[in-house]
Amino acid sequence: MNRRNLILLVLSTALVFGARAAPISLERTDWSSFFAASEAHGTIVVLDNRNGNNVAFVYDPERAARRYSPASTFKIPHSLFALDAGILRDEFQVIPWDGIKRSTEAWNEDQNLRSAMRNSTVWVYERFARQLGDAREIEYMRKIAYGNAVAEGSKPFWVEGDLAISANEQISFLGHLYRNELPFRVEHQRLVKDVMVNEAGRDWILRAKTGWSGKIGWWVGWVEWPTGPVFFALNIDTPNRLDDLSKRQEITRNILRSIKALPPT
């Protein structure tokens, strides 16, 4: 790593983690092989807190500090906002379908929080946004220091608009959620974590959310082990659009397996 990149990595780490002890940061240039194997360009930050460690592995630190549209990864904080505002009571509340046919078949029916998260149902969160209003959205985002905390530009602002967040900031937000440290009721934080579960084994749980803006693809979350969590935030360019989306999980899973943060296939 050259001196400029080292300074950038240290500064971005300090800004993101604030008063909490900053992790040891290690650039992983060798992880380029995982991106090259998938013919993808992007970055990943992996924060390993197992066994009392606090080590952040970063591939492409300059990009990890750069902000991009969060796309559907914003459904994680957005769910918290809706719960806190009383728009959503719990994971069982039925959110009635508006009858408008959309390209994703799973969206064309009533939803609840679990299905909306699993299916990444955009119209549910567009409804939340209308009920909350931009001013309240901004207020919530500022409370949790979420990226640039703006609700401007085209709608939905978290996909088409000006909201943007970096991979480093995603890791910070996820860490606060994992520890129930966000300024929301603990039961709401636990509920959102519950609907984030992707899969689990005998002694591990994977909680995560994908996102896609059309140009940038995300996969963010963490793997819980008895010895502690391993957080991750990946973003890649998606010039081939839908054909590139499987690369988000492919790259991340291979990297996590390489450090034994996910079991082998």
CA distance 166 to 48: 18
- SS3 state of residue 141: helix
DSSP letters of 2-44? Answer: -HHHHHHHHHHHHHHHTTSPPPEEEE-GGGHHHHHHTT--EEE
To the query of whether residue 154 is one of the catalytic residues in this protein, the response is no
What is the DSSP code (8-state) at residue 260?
A: T
Q: Which of 12, 72, 79, 172 is the catalytic position?
A: 72
31 touches 43 (CB < 8 A): no
CA distance 179 to 224: 12
In 58-120, alpha helices (H): 61-64, 75-84, 113-118
163 touches 148 (CB < 8 A): yes
Euclidean distance between the first and final Cα of the chain, in Å?
Answer: 32
- Tell me which residues are annotated as active site: 72
